[in-house]
Amino acid sequence: MGDPKKRRKRYETPRKKWDKQLLETEKKLLEFYGLVNKRDLRKHITWLKNKRQIARGLLALPLEERNIREKELMSGLKKYGLANDNTSVEDILSMKVEAVLERRLQTQVMRKGMANSSKQARQFIVHGHISLGGNKLTAPSYLVSMEEPAQISWYKKPIKIDVVQKKDLKKAFEEAAGITAEEKLIESTEPLEEIVQEIEEKEIKKEDGELKT
């Protein structure tokens, strides 16, 4: 049974921990979804793995029992928008963890425009600024059902968010290159014909100088 005070491990670790491709994939997921560590990620991977094991076990059952168990599995996944009426057992076996991560409260807060990034969304949730159905919720990993996104709101006092706009790439390049506004004005107003003529005159003078020598 074990010590009731000791928390049970709720996730599985991969067999090849130091696989390069696995490490890169985990890093991208951690950054994109604003997860604190790999433990947070592996909890969702283990949750999805358990659903896959159930789906795989359905294939070996008799048809009548399989239909009953399949309805139970699908109803649980439909609750979180991970399945619909056309979803098959094969679709569950090929489901990716990204679909589960999209249902996290942290991700849903960002998708609703209540935060500029996943990390900021996590900060708001942990600090108690987010409510679900009027109740404060401080668990970023909470899986939001299909009926709950409309219930996500600020807890008591709303926080004003400054929308971060992406910097113009052309402007950023010009600033990095040190091109001033005056230089841009000259560049845009100076006729092309005069520039070509000036280059030709320089070439002619150069050739005359070489002939004289």
pLDDT tens, position by position, 85-125: 899 988 999 999 999 999 999 999 999 999 999 999 999 99
- Are 84 and 155 members of one domain? no
Report pLDDT digits (tens) over 13-42.
888 878 899 899 999 999 999 999 999 999
Whether residues 108 and 146 fall in one domain: yes
Same domain (yes/no): 39, 24:
yes
pLDDT value of position 193: 52
* Reported confidence tier of residue 2, pLDDT bands at 50, 70, 90: low
Residues 12 and 59 in one domain: yes
Percent of the chain with pLDDT over 90: 55
Same domain? 143 vs 184: no
Q: Which of 78, 101, 124 is the last residue of a domain?
A: 101
Same domain (yes/no): 34, 85: yes
Mean pLDDT of 69-97: 92
Based on the fold, state whether residues 79 and 123 are members of the same structural domain. Answer: no
173 band by pLDDT with thresholds 50, 70 and 90:
very low
Residue 199 pLDDT grade (very low, low, confident, very high; cuts 50, 70, 90): low
Q: Are residues 97 and 5 in the same domain?
A: yes
Q: How many domains does the chain have?
A: 3
For residue 201, the enclosing domain spans: 169-212
Rg (CA), the chain: 29
**Residue 30 shares a structural domain with residue 67:** yes
Q: Burial-class residue 125 by CB neighbours within 10 Å (0-12, 13-18, 19+).
A: buried
- The answer on 97 and 107 residing in a single domain is no
The reply to whether 23 and 90 lie within a common domain is yes
Q: What's the CATH code of the domain at 134?
A: 3.10.290.10
